[in-house]
Structure 1
Amino acid sequence: MDTATVLHLGSQALWVTAKLAAPVLITSLVVGFTISLVQSVTQIQEVTLSFVPKAVACALALVLTGHWMIAELVSFTEALWASVPTLVGG
């Protein structure tokens, strides 16, 4: 296995990781921004106020996109296993 193959596999792994993390991170970002905007407008500065809505939104994002996430991860893993004979053999 040469350096180019290792770099390609590493970049694919990072890309899959980014795709899988994006729905939850974007949801958390949007909900957090919205709550902080509401807090700044109403001047309610309660730290725990943002935790529950973000947790619920992230759980909802996982429920809605969980099947897709698993399908992406299985597809990546199958592609990796399919490439093992070619990587080891030459």
Structure 2
Amino acid sequence: MTPEVVLSLFGEAFWLIVVLVSVIIVPSLIVGLIVSTFQAATQINEQTLSFLPRLLVTILVIMWTGPWLLTKLTEHFSNLVKNIPYLIG
């Protein structure tokens, strides 16, 4: 296995991680920004007010995109296992 192949595999895995995590985190960040803007406008400094909507959005996003996330992860590992003979030799 050459260093180029290792770097290619690492790059693909890293990009997959970035995509999967960003699908979950970006909606939570957007909701957090909206709630923080609301808190700043109304001067309400309650920690649970920003935590609960982000938690609910994160759970809903995981429920909604869960099958797609699992499919992408399964495809990546399936391709990796199928290519083991080519990667070793």
Pairwise same-fold verdict (TM > 0.5): yes
Partner of 1:71: 71
Task: Provide the secondary structure at the position in 2 that maps to 1:69.
Answer: helix
CA distance in 2, matches of 1:29, 1:52: 13
Aligned length: 89
Amino acid corresponding to residue 42 of structure 2 in structure 1? T
1:6 aligns with 2:6: yes
After TM superposition, the structure 1 = structure 2 runs for residues 1-90 of structure 1, keeping only pairs within 5 Å, are 1-89=1-89
Task: Provide the secondary structure at the position in 2 that maps to 1:44.
Answer: coil
- The alignment yields a C-alpha RMSD, in angstroms, of 0.7
Taking structure 1 as the reference length, what is the TM-score of the superposition?
0.95
Structure 1: 5+ residue runs without aligned partners? Answer: none
Amino acid corresponding to residue 80 of structure 2 in structure 1? L
Kindly provide the CA deviation profile for residues 44-83 of structure 1, in whole angstroms up to 9, marking residues without a partner as x.
Answer: 0112211111000000000110000000000000110011
* Deviant stretches of 4+, over 4 Å: none
CA distance in 1, matches of 2:25, 2:55: 11
Aligned residues: percent identity? 35
CA distance in 2, matches of 1:9, 1:88: 13
Shift of 1:87: 1.0
Taking structure 2 as the reference length, what is the TM-score of the superposition?
0.96
Shift of 1:12: 0.2
